[in-house]
A and B are shown apart, each in its own frame.
Chain A
């Protein structure tokens, strides 16, 4: 989860989020290069002794400053597309989690082995303990095994919702009448938090998600 003054991504808990963070670093590197070049050129614009006020065009430099940004964009687009297709790769999931968004809570179904269904409501601030995380803790955690592929199917029962888990790099819209699917693998054990990410009414900010990642043996038991 984020702590105060956190500006960057949360530490990743899935391989996809790791790759997203590395891609973000790559894009920031290109951004830094462009900004430093522009800053230097702006400085030279101020600190020069040119006095010609009648310049209108310069064919060569106009071609250069059209082609160069296109090449720079290629360096951003190619890794981006690689990652996009990596996210959409079909895996062989061990388990399927069905997530249904309601106003204003999430309900989950595990139907692979036993038929387990439960609702997950936020614990209100006035009922939470001192060691609880305000606005993030829920009454029933979503327990998932670590180091296996998990298929998550997201839908909604009433209005648009969105199931988001920043540390897993997941944000999937829950649309009424539609099933959206994503796949993830959780690298480590622990608690991971997310919040509804599509405006859905008064308590849109108060329907968090808590995923409890446990070892596969513990999950099966």
Chain B
């Protein structure tokens, strides 16, 4: 055979493949889960709470009642 040096490939991993795969993918899965939870909270939950707080902060019940009364919505009070 020729006298040149033959480079050897590194020995591949033969055992513990599933454990290694889980160790790689599980943190990514947990990160995806937490990121989606945080996204849902700040895109859906918090805006809804803000909308309700804003609505009731400036809600004038007497003004709304008068407006609906004049529109003829109620049976118990008729428009002026």
Contacts and interface: CB of A to CB of B under 8 A. Distances in A.
A164 to B, nearest CB: 21
Given A28-B44, A187-B56, A212-B74, A36 B36 contact: yes
A212 B76 contact: yes
A148 B49 CA distance: 23
Given A189-B61, A189-B68, 4 more contacts: A25-B48, A37-B29, A141-B76, A190-B73
A30 B77 CA distance: 46
How many of chain B's residues touch chain A, expressed as a range?
20 to 34
Contacts of B75: 140-141, 143, 212
A52 B32 CA distance: 27
Nearest to B30: A37
6 contacts: A18-B52, A32-B37, A55-B18, A141-B75, A188-B59, A191-B74
Contacts of A44: 21, 25, 29
Nearest to A39: B32
A26 B41 CA distance: 8
Interface of A: 12, 18, 21-22, 25-26, 28-30, 32-34, 36-37, 40-41, 44, 48, 50, 52, 55, 58, 61, 140-141, 143, 146-147, 187-191, 212, 214-215, 218-219
B33 interface: yes
Given A32-B40, A50-B17, A52-B17, A41 B29 contact: yes
B80 interface: no
Nearest to A218: B77
B48 A21 contact: yes
A99 B26 CA distance: 55
Please name the 9 residue pairs, one residue from A and one from B, whose CB atoms are nearest each other, closest first: A37-B33, A33-B37, A36-B36, A25-B45, A33-B33, A143-B76, A189-B65, A29-B40, A141-B75
A190 B71 CA distance: 11
Nearest to A191: B73
A115 B53 CA distance: 38
B76 A214 contact: yes
A46 to B, nearest CB: 12
Contacts of B62: 215
Contacts of B18: 50, 52, 55, 58
